């Protein structure tokens, strides 16, 4: 599906979708438990993949209530799936449930779409091997399809921290139900650290203790997942909020309000500070979870995204519409997402008239030399690229057509409906 965005202003109130990161973890934690109710979850293509995995391991998922998901868990003892687990495009699903697969006696096969089968899984496979489990790439290239099993009992692993924090999350979540627990030594600096903070927060809410150590993380074995009252409530998603705040700062002369912006461990809350540094007029009522923002004259800044990789497309779009230079640093790991997001934003913003310089670990956007104009851009089948380019379309001269726009269903299924309700010119 292609979506065309015309030059537009927006106004009104926008509710952020629930957090994808928290929903993934909450669903799998409910699977590790005897069961739990996950309230206000994000139901999207990615989180449906995690639901399928929980079911494959012997749990069950009831979505009859639109506001909650009832999970009957496998109580820390996953069964061997009857068939291959298809993780579709969800890297989070694949990594988290790869560690689950290592707990069962026999073998699980995990795969996904073309994009997911190109993403690195090698360090996690190696970690399972260190725990005396079996974990192999069928093509022997560290990429899916994967074959995993071995009934690991816990132990110690050494693993790099600069490829994906999801490896750490996977090991911590599975480690809690092993006999011995798992000690994780990081061999390189941890990138995307706030995502592990999210994991620690969710684990604590499910009654599981895990903690940082001087050189990594540790989780004791023999623990049970048991949230208070049998329920877990998912907060709003700040990765998704970033697009709403960006469209407000660029295209809301009368202001707009974003709701469900409740403080949490999400690193992407940094978007509020980033916009403030760029000169946006905004305020955050943390108690009510509301952020108001209005169209502002923005200036370029330097931003490191070592801990907030999902913000790179949003920041690049803001930089293309700002005065001065926006330099996005510490970005190499952003190349290993659904697509190479550094190159994707460089290519597509350039098509729109931005002057962009791509380096291995940086993306530099020269807003002062950029004049955005409508054209056809490739969404790269990546939800974050699609939404960022749609925001750019609001302030581009003429009409901007974004291809493959249906992929927003990964994290923000009603994005274009919401954009249209705020007053934007949206043509399907």
The count of C-alpha atoms lying within 13 angstroms of the C-alpha of 208, restricted to the half-sphere facing its C-beta, is: 31
First-to-final CA distance of the chain:
8
Residue 184, Cβ neighbours under 10 Å: how many? 24
Provide the 8-state DSSP code for 206: T
Pick from 407, 412, 409, 373: which is nearest to 393 by CA?
Answer: 373
How many whole angstroms separate alpha carbon 65 and alpha carbon 120? 36
Binding site as annotated, residues for phosphoenolpyruvate: 20, 91, 119, 166, 341, 384
Pair 260, 19: CB distance under 8 Å: no
Tell me the sheet residues that pair with 158. Answer: 185
| Beta strand pairing call for 325-329 and 302-304 | parallel
> Is the Cβ–Cβ distance between 114 and 381 less than 8 Å?
no
Asked if 224 and 207 touch (Cβ cutoff 8 Å), the reply is: yes
Q: Is 75 annotated as catalytic? A: no
- What residue numbers does the annotated binding site for 3-phosphoshikimate cover? 20-21, 25, 164-166, 192, 310, 337
Catalytic annotation, pick one of 82, 310, 361, 378: 310
Segments in 180-237 forming alpha helices (H)? 193-205
Q: Which residues sit in the known binding site? A: 20-21, 25, 91, 119, 164-166, 192, 310, 337, 341, 384
How many helices (H) and strands (E) are present in the chain, helices listed first? 12, 24
Active site residues: 310
């Amino acid at each position: 599906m292609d979506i065309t965005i015309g030059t537009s202003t927006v106004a009104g109130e926008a509710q952020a979708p629930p957090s994808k990161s928290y929903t993934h973890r909450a669903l799998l934690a409910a699977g590790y438990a005897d069961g739990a109710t996950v309230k206000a979850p994000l139901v999207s293509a990615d989180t449906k993949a995690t639901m399928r995995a929980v079911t494959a391991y012997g749990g069950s998922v009831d979505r009859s209530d639109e506001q909650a998901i009832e999970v009957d868990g496998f109580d820390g003892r996953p069964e061997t799936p009857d068939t291959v687990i298809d993780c579709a495009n969800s890297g989070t699903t694949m990594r988290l449930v790869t560690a689950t697969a290592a707990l069962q006696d026999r073998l699980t096969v995990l795969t996904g779409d073309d994009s997911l089968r190109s993403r690195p899984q090698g360090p996690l496979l190696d970690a399972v091997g260190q725990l005396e489990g079996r974990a192999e790439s069928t093509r022997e290239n560290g990429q899916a399809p994967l074959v995993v099993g071995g009934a690991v009992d816990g132990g110690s692993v050494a693993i790099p921290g600069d490829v994906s924090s999801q490896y750490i999350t996977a090991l911590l979540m599975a480690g809690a139900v092993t006999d011995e627990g798992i000690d994780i030594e990081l061999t390189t600096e941890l990138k995307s650290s706030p995502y592990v903070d999210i994991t620690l927060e969710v684990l604590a809410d499910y009654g599981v203790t895990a903690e940082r150590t001087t050189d990594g993380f540790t989780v004791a074995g023999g623990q049970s997942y048991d949230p208070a009252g049998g329920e877990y409530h998912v907060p709003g998603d700040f990765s998704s909020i970033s697009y709403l705040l960006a469209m407000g700062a660029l295209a809301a002369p009368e202001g707009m309000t974003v709701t469900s912006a409740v403080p949490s461990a999400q690193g992407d809350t940094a978007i509020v500070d980033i916009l403030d540094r760029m000169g946006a007029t905004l305020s955050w009522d943390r108690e009510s979870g509301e952020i108001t923002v209005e169209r502002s004259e923005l200036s370029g800044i330097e931003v490191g995204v070592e801990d907030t990789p999902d913000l790179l497309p949003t920041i690049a779009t803001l930089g293309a519409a700002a005065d001065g230079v926006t330099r996005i640093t510490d970005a190499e790991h952003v190349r290993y997402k659904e697509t190479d997001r550094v190159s994707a934003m460089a290519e597509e913003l350039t098509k729109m008239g931005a002057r962009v310089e791509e380096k291995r670990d940086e993306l530099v956007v020269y807003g002062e030399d950029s004049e955005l104009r409508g054209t056809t851009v490739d969404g790269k089948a990546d939800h974050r690229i699609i939404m960022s380019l749609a925001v750019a379309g609001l302030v581009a001269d003429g009409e901007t057509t974004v291809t493959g726009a249906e992929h927003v269903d990964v994290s923000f299924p009603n994005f274009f409906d919401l954009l249209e309700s705020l007053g934007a010119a949206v043509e399907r």
